[in-house]
């Protein structure tokens, strides 16, 4: 897929620019110092993970309505990238928590709802990989893809609804960030967005190719 | 450099790199498999 090659180069370039913004452009935060720079990769990972799960939700609804293989493959691709990114957001957040709050983990609403979301979508991936038959598996996964999305708005609003030690950066105006810090956040959001698109499209293409190989294999067996 | 920053960056970039490499290698593998299957189908059709 030539488009994926171009997108891969683009995402590498965008991530490099993002790194320059983090290490050379953004000022050092007064209280946390260099540890605050974890935020610039943590937040885009969490943000694009939520976008992934929204894509799973939309693709699952589409699959339930049209029963097309493409929607099912797209939902699987987005879920895989979402689980990877939310997992990394949890890991980077945990490291940040150890440096900032002196604990690796705390049962805070934002952290707890994110962990639940991670387990739900990890379960979704396990279900996708199960030996259940093709169309039946796609249907069950589509239903789970819709139901699982219930937790996503909870993750997003958890820091605002309940008392949370987790900062709600987008909720507060400016989030206590300096303009240079905001620019760094936005550049990295964009860079991780290009990476997210590359990974989802790459995984989608792979899923399509696997489907085609399966069809050829079945066709060959039926013909034999 | 602070240890926490190094750990967070290492975890993120190694995992993302490993996943991208997995996709690329699996993509190459499936492309070869598809080529073989298509050749097999064409030879049967003849």
Q: Which residues pair with A29 in a beta bridge?
A: A33
Tokens of B4: 């926490």
Task: Provide ipTM, 2 decimals.
Answer: 0.90
In which domain, by residue range, is A123 found?
2-223
Which CATH number fits the domain that encloses residue A184?
1.20.120
Q: Please give the tally of structural domains in chain A.
A: 1
Q: Between A and B, how many residue pairs show a Cβ–Cβ distance under 8 A?
A: 78
Within A23-144, strands assigned E span none
CB A145 within 8 A of CB A57: yes
Spatial separation of the C-alpha atoms in residues B19 and A74, rounded to whole Å: 17
Task: Verify whether the Cβ–Cβ distance A216 to B34 is below 8 Å.
Answer: yes
Is B33 part of the contact surface with chain A (CB cutoff 8 Å)? Answer: yes
The one-digit pLDDT tens for each residue of chain A (224 residues) are 558 999 999 999 999 999 999 999 999 888 888 999 999 999 999 999 999 999 999 999 999 999 999 999 999 999 999 999 999 999 999 999 999 889 999 898 889 999 999 999 999 999 999 877 778 899 999 999 999 999 888 888 877 777 777 776 665 555 678 889 999 999 999 999 999 999 999 999 999 999 999 888 887 665 54
Which chain A residues are closer than 8 Å to B31 by Cβ? 209
Buried b (16+ CB within 10 A) or exposed e, A84-93: bbbbbbbbbb
């Amino acid at each position: 897929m030539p488009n994926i090659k171009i997108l891969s180069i683009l995402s590498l370039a965008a991530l490099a620019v993002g790194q320059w913004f983090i290490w050379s452009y953004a000022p050092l935060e007064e209280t946390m110092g260099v540890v605050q720079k974890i935020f610039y990769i943590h937040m885009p990972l969490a943000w694009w993970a939520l976008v992934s799960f929204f894509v799973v939700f939309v693709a699952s609804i589409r699959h339930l309505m049209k029963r097309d293989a493409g929607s099912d493959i797209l939902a699987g691709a987005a879920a895989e990238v979402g689980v990877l990114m939310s997992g990394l957001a949890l890991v980077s957040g945990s490291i940040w928590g150890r440096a900032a709050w002196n604990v690796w983990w705390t049962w805070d609403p934002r952290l707890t709802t994110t962990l639940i979301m991670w387990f739900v979508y990890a379960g979704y991936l396990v279900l996708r990989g199960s030996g259940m038959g093709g169309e039946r598996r796609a249907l069950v996964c589509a239903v789970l893809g819709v139901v699982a999305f219930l937790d996503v708005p909870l993750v997003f609003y958890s820091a605002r609804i309940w008392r949370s030690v987790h900062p709600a950066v987008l909720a507060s105006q400016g989030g206590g960030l300096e303009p240079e810090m905001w620019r760094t956040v936005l550049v990295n959001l964009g860079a991780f967005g290009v990476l997210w698109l590359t990974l989802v499209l790459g995984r989608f293409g792979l899923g399509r190719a696997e489907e085609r190989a399966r069809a050829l294999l079945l066709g060959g067996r039926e013909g034999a | 450099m602070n240890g926490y920053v190094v750990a967070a960056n290492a975890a993120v970039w190694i995992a993302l790199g490993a996943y991208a490499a997995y996709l690329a290698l699996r993509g190459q593998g499936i492309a070869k498999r598809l080529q073989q299957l298509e050749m097999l189908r064409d030879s049967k059709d003849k």
